Amino acid sequence: MSNPNANIDAVIVDFSKIFGFPNTAAIIVNKTFLFELKPSFPNNIIYAQVVGDNIIYSDEKRHDNTLQLNDLISIESGLELFQILGYEKMKSHTINLRNILYDQLSALTYSNDVSKCILYGNSRNTNILTFNILTNEKEYISDKYVVRKAYNKSILIEYGCHSFPFSCSHHIGINENDIYKFYSQKNNDNAVSDMVNRKPIGAIRVSIGWYNTIDDINHLIELIKEI
């Protein structure tokens, strides 16, 4: 931001991606641009957007409000812990756990040698792993079903397109019209299915945090074996 050669007006910081809690973000604004903005929580929240011009807005309305005091305290505590542990140690720890999970899921197969998981991306330098789970007949298992099973085991994982709809459609093999139709129905009719033409809209994402341990990884692997 202070680099005169960088033409940046603002930078977004998502604290949930750094600490895991709170689910709060901040925007760092260049001083020359600051007074042109009005702090607010917009009323029309985008529910989904594909690569084309189709945008779906959420029916949920949000109004201007203040942040929870507990969130602000949590951010301060998180920053202090971040300084104590050190970035390199946290990075090494999370990447190592992610790679263990990747190797374990890659090795899971059924008795007929069908792989149980489809894993997307093979970077060994990230703390995030994205995948889908298959049956022994190579049919996709609902991501929503997997996430609910995980929740019942006190495991928090996410599913969906994770802000990259085109990447989803490319890797899974569904077109944008199907994605648009799915989100239109989901937003208007509160549809419970997460499948289009027997394929999921997105994938399961596991984000490894500094607080996770090898026991957490083993717990998740055992869950996936049971599904």
Residues 143-167: pLDDT tens digits?
A: 999 999 999 999 988 887 766 666 6
Identify whether the C-beta of residue 17 lies closer than 8 Å to the C-beta of residue 32: no
Instruction: Mark residue 42 as left, alpha or beta (left: phi above 0; alpha: psi -120 to 50; beta: remaining).
Output: beta
221, part of any domain: yes
User: Mean pLDDT across the stretch 31-58?
Assistant: 57
45, part of any domain: no
57, part of any domain: no
Residue 40: the pLDDT is 60
Identify whether the C-beta of residue 227 lies closer than 8 Å to the C-beta of residue 144: no
32, part of any domain: no
User: Mean pLDDT across the stretch 169-197?
Assistant: 68
pLDDT at 119 over 80: yes
177, part of any domain: yes
Which of the two residues, 127 and 29, has the higher pLDDT score? 127
138, part of any domain: yes
185, part of any domain: yes
pLDDT at 23 over 50: yes
For 122-138, what is the HEC assignment?
A: CCCCCCEEEEEEECCCC
* Domain residue limits at 220: 86-226
Which of the two residues, 135 and 163, has the higher pLDDT score? 135
34, part of any domain: no
Kindly report the backbone phi and psi dihedral angles of residue 46, in degrees, each rounded to the nearest multiple of 5, phi listed first. -70, 125
Residue 20: the pLDDT is 67
Residue 30: the pLDDT is 79
- CATH assignment at residue 212: 3.90.1150.10
**Number of domains forming the structure of the chain:** 1
pLDDT at 49 over 60: no
pLDDT tens for 189-203 read 445 567 877 888 888
